[in-house]
Chain A
Amino acid sequence: MRETRRLCTLKTHLLLAALLYWACAVFLYPVPAAAVEGFVEGAYGYRTQRDVTKKDSFNLLEARAQLKGVYEPPVFEALSPEADLKAELIADGYDDRLILKVREAALAFTPLDFIDVKLGRQILTWGTGDYIFINDLFPKDYVSFFIGRDDEYLKVPSDALRVSLFTEAVNLDMVLIPVMEPDISVIGKRLSFFDGLSGQVLGEDAARVFIEPREIAENMELAFRAYRTIGRMEAALYLFRGFYKEPRGILDGAKSEFFYPRLHVIGMSLRGPVLGGIGNFELGYYDSREDRGGGNPMIENPSIKYLAGYTQDLGSDASIGFQYEVEQMLHHGAYRDGLAPGASVRDEFRHLLTMRFTKLYSGQTVVTSLFVFFSPSDMDAYLRPGVSYKVTDSWKVTAGANIILGRDEFTDFGTFRRNDNLYMRVRYSF
Chain B
Amino acid sequence: MMKKIFLPMLLLLIIPSLSYALTADEIVERSNLAYYYAGDDGRADLNMRITDRRGRVRIREMTLLRKDIKDGGRQKFYVYFKKPSDVSRMVFMVWKQVKGDDDRWLYIPAIDLVKRIASSDKRSSFAGGVFTYEDVSGRRTSDDTHELLDDEQYNGKAVYVVKNSPKDTGEVEFSYYIARIDKKTFLPVKGEYYDKSGKLYRTISVDKTGLVDGIPTVLQATAENLSRGMKTTIEFKDVAYNVGIKERIFRERYLRRPPKEVKR
Contacts and interface: CB of A to CB of B under 8 A. Distances in A.
B85 interface: yes
Interface stretch (A7-15, A205-213, A273-281, A402-410): A273-281
A179 B128 CA distance: 43
Nearest to A152: B110
A317 interface: yes
A319 B114 CA distance: 18
A110 to B, nearest CB: 7
B54 to A, nearest CB: 11
A314 B56 CA distance: 28
B158 interface: no
Nearest to B103: A232
Contacts of B257: 80, 82, 108, 110, 116
Given A155-B112, A316-B124, A393 B52 contact: no
Contact of A125 (B103, B112, B129): B112
B252 A171 contact: yes
A242 B239 CA distance: 49
Nearest to A229: B251
A315 B58 contact: no
A146 to B, nearest CB: 17
Nearest to A138: B112
Interface in A134-167: 151-152, 154-155, 164, 166
Nearest to A273: B101
Given A155-B111, A171-B252, A392 B58 contact: yes
Contacts of A82: 257
A36 B89 CA distance: 13
Contact of B85 (A37, A155, A317): A37
B125 interface: yes
Interface residues of A, number: 51
Given A39-B86, A392-B58, A393-B84, A313 B121 contact: yes
A122 B112 contact: yes
Contact of A317 (B58, B101, B125): B125
B116 A124 contact: no
Contact of B58 (A70, A126, A393): A393
B85 A38 contact: yes
B117 interface: yes
Interface of A: 37-39, 70, 72, 80, 82, 108, 110, 116, 122-126, 151-152, 154-155, 164, 166, 171, 227, 232, 234, 271-273, 276-278, 280, 311-317, 319, 363-365, 390, 392-394, 396, 427, 429-430
Given A152-B110, A232-B103, A396-B86, 20 more contacts: A39-B85, A70-B89, A116-B253, A123-B111, A123-B112, A125-B111, A126-B114, A152-B111, A155-B111, A171-B253, A273-B103, A278-B117, A278-B118, A312-B120, A314-B121, A316-B121, A319-B118, A365-B58, A393-B59, A429-B84
Q: Which 6 A-B pairs have the closest CB atoms?
A: A364-B128, A37-B85, A393-B84, A125-B112, A313-B118, A315-B121
6 contacts: A116-B256, A312-B120, A313-B124, A316-B124, A363-B50, A363-B58
